[in-house]
């Protein structure tokens, strides 16, 4: 039975519910102090940006208090910590999420209201922190939120890029890129730590030293040095004191100036050198699931792991423990192979600088690191040319060769005489030049390797690294299915639905315990709940329709089915198939009589996503989408029955508007290619229904919510290789409906067909590697099924409720607890709440 307050005590609660005037006063005071003192503005020289700054700085003071208390507590308790190393953190905006985490949104709103500012307007002033490409970077951000919320002692480490992911503009239907100078207007969410800096060496030479007793050691000397300066981004847990830190490194020149050069009259060259140091952290590489072997990228990787390890080791050394304790105090997670140089770097520090034996050092290294693989795409697996590493990091190259030698000796011992196996498993890939296979180095140097969804983890074991599974007898490999933070991806981005869920469940504790959503199942058939549920969905669709109109001038109807595909543009994600399906629908609609057309379910098809700037085919897909939209949206016979919109510059804050508004979202990668996907989870959590392939986390979502509540189609992962094989050796039998669609493109229905020739060719002479033709018929059928289902309003509402109700498993809190217990072996370290 629920506890009810005795009526005579209610006034006590009321007093606590309505923020005290003194609190509001305190907020206004700190706001005005920052506005007038930090930013030197006055009542007569203010705008929304100024009030955003004042609010952010006032909140930042609270964050810093909590951060300090947390750090002091951790220093006292000295728990085992996890270090999450990632080249990407896609944080998005911070103001709204901090207000919610600190539980002060309502009171800030009141305080600002009284001063004549609207909080909603201020939130829109913030620029996204977009230090990532897509899923991998956003996953890191969700994981930081969960680590903080669950009271874990954790640190994120990465790079403070001066330019985040580029801004996408659509010009004449084509993607164009503009630099994202996100720091131009200052960044309230970071604390510059000029007191925390480390030197990082590149190039130079390795000195071999023979001691008197005959032992040999190596010293890495010379070369050039740059300095890594820390910038700290506090991450508050939701409703807890724990406030953890993402430490981002920025490169600075090691010496202020080369005076010798200056005196030689070579002033410009001296300044040039300084610039080249700063270049290291200048720009995020804009490739998702694709490696580009640029030396500057390798420099970024070493720069950040080198500074990070120095920082972690300094913290460890403060406690005067023996080195053998290191793996029991420190766990280091590699977010993909990008930070893998941390493995030879720690080995180098331990043997060259700390004087440990190779074996003792290697034992520590392999007990410290663990590695997450995020992709099976061959073009994304990192391989670095040996000469490149040799030049930039000569000592590391020696160590990698030694790691490989000792490893292959063990393989030889276990499988004597199996030369082909040695070749397959070697960290060094033979060829001209030789390459370092970073994933192999990461596997060999880690105690645990995980994939990011059940299917993906199986593919890793059976298809990508089977030799390693055999060698380690299955002991290293495991799965941790990805998750998303319900704070940002429901509570914050969909306040109406969040409030309604809280009302129905009688408490807001689901925000920290997503298991509770299961109780929503009881309401799936409740007509009143269904009505309210769909009314909220409609509100969110109106919000998106308004946004679309403001950006593209296209008028869309909130009563149409919102069918959304937003993610990086990539051939394996098959946005191409989606737009071909749209053309198919358009051609069909054109053949109908007006009466028949009036019976169709009106559909809005939304696309958004960036293409890597050098990815020609992906950029053509964007052009085709816009060209199709141009024709369809201006066809008076079609009207609202079909609209096609490409929303430019997809990013985290746009996702927060788009995701709550979907009826259907598409996750249609060729089976076996999408490691997990995480936006699929966000859509379903917000009551959207997936139309997708049997791939990545779609599969587990289907298991949780029930197959009636998801539209699956297409071939299964284990069929793909055979079909590809046949495609290579037989003429592809093009699906007849697809042939019609291609004919329409080739007739010039959507503008100059020449433009699209290379794109169409991927399906014909290109061999249709992603099996669009094979899946087309079942894709169209699934789309038709979704139209039918949408006509049944009650049935749809029920599906939508069951979607949200079934998503408990996909909280990043569950993922993080799994990592903590099974991989990192860390425990919560709860900070006493001396401040609220
Ligand atoms: C995968 O493509 C997954 C994220 C996060 C991406 C996507 O399916 O959800 O990682 N992989 O795990 C990636 O970026 C470099 O690889």
Q: What is the pLDDT of residues 451-485, one digit of tens each?
A: 999 999 999 999 999 999 999 998 999 999 999 99
Which of 89, 136, 285, 697 most suits a substitution to test ligand 1, by most atoms within 8 Å of the C-beta?
136
* Residues 315-324: tens digit of each pLDDT: 999 999 999 9
**pLDDT band per the 50, 70, 90 thresholds, residue 21:** very low
Of 93, 456, 491, 567, which one is the catalytic site residue? 567
How many other C-beta atoms can be found within 10 angstroms of the C-beta atom of residue 548? 21
Instruction: Choose one of 374, 381, 460 to mutate for the ligand 1 pocket test, by most ligand atoms within 8 angstroms of C-beta.
Output: 374
Ligand 1 centroid from CA 136, angstroms: 5
Determine whether 20 is exposed, middle or buried from the number of CB atoms within 10 Å of its CB (0-12, 13-18, 19+). exposed
What is the per-residue pLDDT for 13? Answer: 67
Among 255-259, 408-412, 434-438, 458-462, the range scoring the smallest mean pLDDT is 255-259
Q: What is the ipTM, given to two decimal places? A: 0.99
Neighbours of 262 (CB within 10 A): 13
Kindly state the tokens that stand for 790.
Answer: 């949408």
Write out pLDDT tens, residues 108-148: 999 999 999 999 999 999 999 999 999 999 999 999 999 99
Omega of the bond leading into 591 within 30 degrees of 0 (cis): no
Write out the two tokens for 170: 């659509």
How far, in Å, CA of 225 to CA of 373, rounded? 31
The predicted structure's pLDDT at residue 835: 43
Strand order, beta sheet including 435-437: 383-385, 435-437, 428-429
Please state the CATH superfamily assignment of the domain spanning residues 486-719+781-810 in this structure. Glycogen Phosphorylase B; (3.40.50.2000)
Segment 258-290, tens digit of pLDDT:
666 767 778 887 777 777 899 999 999 999 999
Distance 114 CA to ligand 1 centre (A): 45
Nearest CA to ligand 1 atom 11: 374
| pLDDT above 60: residue 568 | yes
Answer for the pair 111, 163: CB distance below 8 angstroms, yes or no.
no
The set of residues, in sequence order, having a beta carbon less than 8 Å from that of 252 and lying 6+ positions away, is 197, 226, 227, 228, 229, 277, 278
- Name 154's bridge partners: 82
Q: How far is CA 651 from CA 129, 167, 483, 790, in A?
A: 10, 9, 19, 29
- pLDDT grade, residue 719 (50/70/90)? very high
Q: What distance in Å separates the CA atoms of residue 758 and residue 755, rounded to the nearest whole number?
A: 8
Written as one string, the DSSP assignment of 756-778 is HHHHHHTTTTT--TT-HHHHHHH
Query: Would you place residue 84 in the very low, low, confident or very high pLDDT band (cuts 50, 70, 90)?
Result: very high
Task: Let me know if 367 is a catalytic residue.
Answer: no
**1 falls in which pLDDT band (50, 70, 90)?**
low
677 CA: nearest ligand 1 atom: 9
CA–CA dist 450, 370 (Å, integer): 8
What is the percent of the chain with per-residue pLDDT over 70, rounded to a whole number? 97
Rounded to whole angstroms, the Cα distance separating 262 from 796 reads 73
Indicate the average pLDDT of the chain: 96
Cα-to-centroid distance, 378 and ligand 1 (Å): 13
Pairing between β-strand 664-667 and β-strand 689-693 as defined by DSSP bridges = parallel
Mean pLDDT of 433-442: 98
Using alpha carbons, list the distances in angstroms from residue 36 to 31, 47, 49, 112, 227: 9, 13, 14, 15, 34
Q: What is the pLDDT of residues 621-647, one digit of tens each?
A: 999 999 999 999 999 999 999 999 999
Rounded CA-CA distance 658/807 in Å is 19
Q: DSSP H helical segments within 166-207, as ranges?
A: none
Report residue 525 as tokens: 């058939």
Residues 6+ apart with CB under 8 A from 291: 379, 380, 381, 382, 383
> 70, 337, 678, 804: which one is catalytic?
678
Kindly give the distance from the C-alpha atom of residue 676 to the centroid of ligand 1, in angstroms, as a whole number. 7
| pLDDT value of position 256 | 58
Q: Looking at residue 259, what is its pLDDT?
A: 65
Q: Rounded to whole angstroms, how far apart are CA atoms 28 and 31?
A: 5
In 336-467, DSSP assigns E strands to 369-372, 383-385, 428-429, 435-437, 448-451
Q: For residue 547, how many C-alpha atoms fall within 13 Å in the half-sphere facing its CB? A: 22
**HEC letters along 474-498:** CCCEEECCCCECHHHHHHHCCHHHH
> How remote is the CA of residue 218 from the centroid of ligand 1, in Å?
38
104-114 burial by CB neighbour count: b if 16+ within 10 A, else e? Answer: bbebbbbbbee
Residue 552: the pLDDT is 98
Q: How far is CA 403 from CA 414, 439, 586, 756, in A?
A: 17, 14, 59, 49
What φ, ψ does residue 303 adopt, rounded to 5°? -50, -50
Distances (CA, A) of 834 to 68, 220, 236, 244, 245: 12, 48, 15, 17, 19
The closest residue, in CA terms, to atom 5 on ligand 1 is 136
With 60 as the cut, is the pLDDT of residue 231 above it? yes
Looking at the CA of residue 139, tell me the nearest atom of ligand 1: 5
Predicted local confidence at residue 272, as pLDDT: 79
**Token pair 């109700």 is at which residue?**
805
The C-alpha R_g of the chain, in whole angstroms, comes to 28
CB atoms within 10 A of CB 217: 13
Q: Angle CA(304)–CA(305)–CA(309) in degrees, nearest 5? A: 120
Fill in the DSSP letter of residue 806: T
Sheet with 330-335, strands from edge to edge, namely 191-202, 224-236, 243-253, 154-159, 81-85, 330-335, 369-372, 448-451, 477-479
> Is residue 2 among the annotated active site residues?
no
Q: Which two tokens stand for residue 418?
A: 């199996």
* Dihedral Cα 547, 548, 551, 554, nearest 10 deg: -140
Mutate to test the pocket of ligand 1, among 135, 336, 372 (most ligand atoms within 8 A of CB): 135
- Specify the ligand 1 atom closest to the Cα of 135: 4
Pocket test for ligand 1, best of 84, 86, 134 (most atoms within 8 A of CB): 134
Residue listed under structure tokens 């720009």: 283
Task: Tell me the backbone φ, ψ of residue 402, rounded to 5 degrees.
Answer: -70, -40
Catalytic option among 73, 568, 585, 798: 568
CA atoms within 13 A on the CB side of 75: 10
pLDDT score, position 79? 98
Q: What 3-state class would DSSP assign to 661?
A: helix
Residues near ligand 1 (Cβ within 6 A): 135-136, 139, 288-289, 336, 374-375, 380, 452, 482, 674-678, 696
Look at residue 376 in the predicted model and tell me its pLDDT: 97
Judged by DSSP in three states, 221 sits in strand
Distance CA 442, CA 29 (A): 51
The yes-or-no verdict on residue 4 having pLDDT over 90 is no
**Ligand 1 centre and the CA of 782: distance in Å?**
25
568 noted as active-site residue:
yes
Looking at 707-792, list the stretches that DSSP marks H as alpha helix, in order from N- to C-terminal side.
717-729, 736-747, 753-761, 772-791
Ligand 1 atom at shortest distance from the alpha carbon of 380: 15
Structure tokens at 603: 């559909």
What's the whole-number mean pLDDT along residues 346-367? 98
Tally Cβ neighbours within 10 Å of residue 833. 12
What string of DSSP letters covers 303-357? HHHHHHHHHHHHHHHTTT--GGGHHHHEEEEEESSTTTTHHHHHHHIIIIIS---
Q: Is 136 helix (H, G, I), strand (E, B) or coil?
A: helix
CA distances to 176, 605, 747, 772 from 750, rounded to whole Å, are 20, 17, 8, 20
Lowest mean pLDDT across 9-18, 30-39, 450-459, 521-530: 9-18
Spatial contact of 250 and 231, defined as CB atoms under 8 Å apart: yes
Say whether pLDDT at 19 is over 60.
Answer: no
- The number of the ligand 1 atom at minimal distance from the alpha carbon of 482 is 12
Give me the phi and psi of 582, to 5 degrees please: -65, -40
Question: CA–CA separation, 75 vs 156, rounded Å?
Answer: 17
**With 50 as the cut, is the pLDDT of residue 20 above it?**
no
pLDDT at 452: 99
Going from the Cα of 289 to the center of ligand 1, the distance in angstroms, rounded, reads: 7
- Which residue spans of the chain are classified as CATH 3.40.50.2000? 78-93+128-482+820-824, 486-719+781-810
| Percent with pLDDT over 90 in the chain | 92
C-alpha 719 – ligand 1 centre gap (Å): 22
Q: Which CATH superfamily is domain 78-93+128-482+820-824 in?
A: Glycogen Phosphorylase B; (3.40.50.2000)
Ligand 1 atom nearest to CA at 377: 16
> What is the CA(375)–ligand 1 centre distance, in A?
6
């Amino acid at each position: 039975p629920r506890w009810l307050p005795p009526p005579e005590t209610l006034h006590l609660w009321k007093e606590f519910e309505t923020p005290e005037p003194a609190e509001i006063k305190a907020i206004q005071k700190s706001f005005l102090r920052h506005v007038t003192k930090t930013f030197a503005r006055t009542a007569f020289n203010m705008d929304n940006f100024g009030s955003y700054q004042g609010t952010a700085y006032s909140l930042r003071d609270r964050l810093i208090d909590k951060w300090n208390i947390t750090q002091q507590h951790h220093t006292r308790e000295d728990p085992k910590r996890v270090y999450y190393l990632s080249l990407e953190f896609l944080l998005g905006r911070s103001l709204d999420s901090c207000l919610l985490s600190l539980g002060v949104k309502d009171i800030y709103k009141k305080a600002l209201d009284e001063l004549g500012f609207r909080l909603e307007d201020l939130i829109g002033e913030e620029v996204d922190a977009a230090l990532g490409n897509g899923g991998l970077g956003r996953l890191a951000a969700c994981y930081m939120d969960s680590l903080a919320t669950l009271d874990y002692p954790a640190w994120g480490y990465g790079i403070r890029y001066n330019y985040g992911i580029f801004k996408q503009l659509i010009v004449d239907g084509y993607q164009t890129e503009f630099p994202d100078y996100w720091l131009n207007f200052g960044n309230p969410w970071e604390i510059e730590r000029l007191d925390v800096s480390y030197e990082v060496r590149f190039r130079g030479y390795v000195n071999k030293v023979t001691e008197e007793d005959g032992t040999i050691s190596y010293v890495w000397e010379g070369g050039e040095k740059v300095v890594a300066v820390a910038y700290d981004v506090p991450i508050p847990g939701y409703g807890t004191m724990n406030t953890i830190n993402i430490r981002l490194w920025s490169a600075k020149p090691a010496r202020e100036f080369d005076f010798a050069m200056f005196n030689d009259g070579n002033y410009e060259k001296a300044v040039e050198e300084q610039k080249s140091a700063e270049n290291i952290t200048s720009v995020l590489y804009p490739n998702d699931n694709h490696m580009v072997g640029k030396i500057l990228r390798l420099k970024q990787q070493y720069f950040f792991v080198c500074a990070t390890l120095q920082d972690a080791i300094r913290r460890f050394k403060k406690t005067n423990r023996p080195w053998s304790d290191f793996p029991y105090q420190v766990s280091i997670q590699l977010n993909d192979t990008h930070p893998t140089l941390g493995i030879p770097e720690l080995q180098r520090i331990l043997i060259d600088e700390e004087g440990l034996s190779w074996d003792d050092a290697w034992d520590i290294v392999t007990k410290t690191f663990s590695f997450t693989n995020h992709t099976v795409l061959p073009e994304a697996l990192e391989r670095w040319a040996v000469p490149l590493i040799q030049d930039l990091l000569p000592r590391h190259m020696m160590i990698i060769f030694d790691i490989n030698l000792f490893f292959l000796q063990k393989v030889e011992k276990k499988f004597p005489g199996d030369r082909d196996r040695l070749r397959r498993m070697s960290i060094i890939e033979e060829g001209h030049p030789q390459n370092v296979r970073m994933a192999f180095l990461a596997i060999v140097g880690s105690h645990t390797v995980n994939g990011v969804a059940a299917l993906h983890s199986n593919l890793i074991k059976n298809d990508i690294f089977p030799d390693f599974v055999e060698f380690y007898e299955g002991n290293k490999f495991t799965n941790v299915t990805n998750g998303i933070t319900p704070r940002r991806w429901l509570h914050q981005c969909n306040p109406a639905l969040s409030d309604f869920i809280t009302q129905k469940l009688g408490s807001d504790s689901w925000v920290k315990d997503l298991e509770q959503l299961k109780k929503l199942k009881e309401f799936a058939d409740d007509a009143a709940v269904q009505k309210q549920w769909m009314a909220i969905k409609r509100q969110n669709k109106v919000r998106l329709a308004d946004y679309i109109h403001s950006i593209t001038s296209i008028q869309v109807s909130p009563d149409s089915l919102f069918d959304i595909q937003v993610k990086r543009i990539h051939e394996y994600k098959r946005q191409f198939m989606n737009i071909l399906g749209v053309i198919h629908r358009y051609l069909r609609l054109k053949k109908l009589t007006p009466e028949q057309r009036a019976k169709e379910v009106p559909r809005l098809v939304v696309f958004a996503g960036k293409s890597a700037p050098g990815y020609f085919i992906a950029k053509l897909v964007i052009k085709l989408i816009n060209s199709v939209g141009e024709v369809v949206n201006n066809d008076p016979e079609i009207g609202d029955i079909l609209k096609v919109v490409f929303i430019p510059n997809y990013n985290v804050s746009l996702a927060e508007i788009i995701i709550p508004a979907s009826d259907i979202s598409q996750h249609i990668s060729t089976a076996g290619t999408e490691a997990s996907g995480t936006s699929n989870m966000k859509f379903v959590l917000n009551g959207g229904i997936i139309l997708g392939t049997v791939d990545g986390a779609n599969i587990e979502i289907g298991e949780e919510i029930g197959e009636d509540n998801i539209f699956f189609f297409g071939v299964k992962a284990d069929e793909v290789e055979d079909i590809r094989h046949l495609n290579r050796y037989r003429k592809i039998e093009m699906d007849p409906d697809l042939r019609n669609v291609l004919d329409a493109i080739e007739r010039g229905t959507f503008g100059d067909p020449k433009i699209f020739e290379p794109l169409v060719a991927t399906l014909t002479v290109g061999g249709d590697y992603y099996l669009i033709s094979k899946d087309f018929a079942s894709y169209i059928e699934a789309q038709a099924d979704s139209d039918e289902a949408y006509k049944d309003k009650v049935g749809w509402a029920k599906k939508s409720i069951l979607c949200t109700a079934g998503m408990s498993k996909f909280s990043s809190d569950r993922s993080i607890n799994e990592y903590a217990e099974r991989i990192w072996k860390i425990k919560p370290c709860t900070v006493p709440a001396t401040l609220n």
